[in-house]
A and B are shown apart, each in its own frame.
Chain A
Amino acid sequence: MLRVSALASVLPGVPGLIYTRRAYDDLFSYYAPIGIGVFALFALAIVFAVIRYRGRPPSAAARWHENDRLEGAYALLLACVVAFLLYLTYSAEHKVDSVSAHEQPRLTVDVVASKWEWTFSYPAYGITARSGAVGDQPLVVPTGEAVRFELSSLDVIHSFWIPALRFKRAAFPGHTQNITLAFGSTGLFQGQCAEFCGLRHPEMIFSVRVVTPQQFTAWAARGGGS
């Protein structure tokens, strides 16, 4: 059975190559601690306030009920947090969307989604693989190279998701979208349709076999297969 294992955390140093997994992990490493910290802060504040101020007679309650300066300063602090988060997000998105779109792909794969299968075609090699309700031929890609996927659908909206890459993109009928992805380490990964597409949506899965560039060349020369 397939395993969703993490890609190697240390990726081969190919300059300029955008690893969506790394962009996600970097961003996550900022967002997650901030989120957990804020939750802890508010939870502690509530618990403290309740313990400190419970069981007093109603007449003991304070009468003050506003402090515009304090709230203004606090709103400013929040705005700074928003600006910081957006800076992080925009930097990461710029890399994932814009920079990766300009990478020179070493390999182009046509990905056609349909109810309920994936067809992966390698125009340069005349190879076609099918996965989903009808078969389980994996998508084969080399490590450390920019791979362009030309993504489209034959019928309804599907979504091309490779969880180990932390990336998905919707596939629309009658429209081709180009996305460029890079794979950090060899192994067998899971992929699937993320957009509900009808009856056999759960069966619209595929596997991704990531091999070394040498193995990939040999695989392509053999005309595909396992």
Chain B
Amino acid sequence: MSVYETRHGYEDEKVTRSFKNDYVLGQVLVTFVCNTIAFLLIAAVVVFYDLENVLLAIFNNNLISVMTVLILAYLLTQTAMIILTVLVYSSRYDRAKKRQGRLYHELKVMEQGYQREDGEILS
């Protein structure tokens, strides 16, 4: 129990403090923001890298197709990252809950042992 508390106890406490849906939803929101920033960065780099073709597309009234491609790419990456986040953090929550459940079970057994000892001493 002491080894568990040293290694996982603090992190598991933070994770299981809230309900599973709340925890996963919070992580999904963080992923959404991070992914948006990353996508904007990559888009800026691509535009800077291929500035000539981007300007040509704008001047040839092809902006709508460019924007459509960008939006589709953004939605695809967001969906993929959100699915990955849900899978990863659901799994982490379940494992943390399981470890905590084992700890509480062992604490309960220890407490029952102490109560039995107290009962024997008193009698």
Q: Check if A and B associate.
A: no
Chain B residues proximal to chain A, CB less than 8 Å:
none
Q: Enumerate chain A interface residues (CB-CB to B < 8 A).
A: none
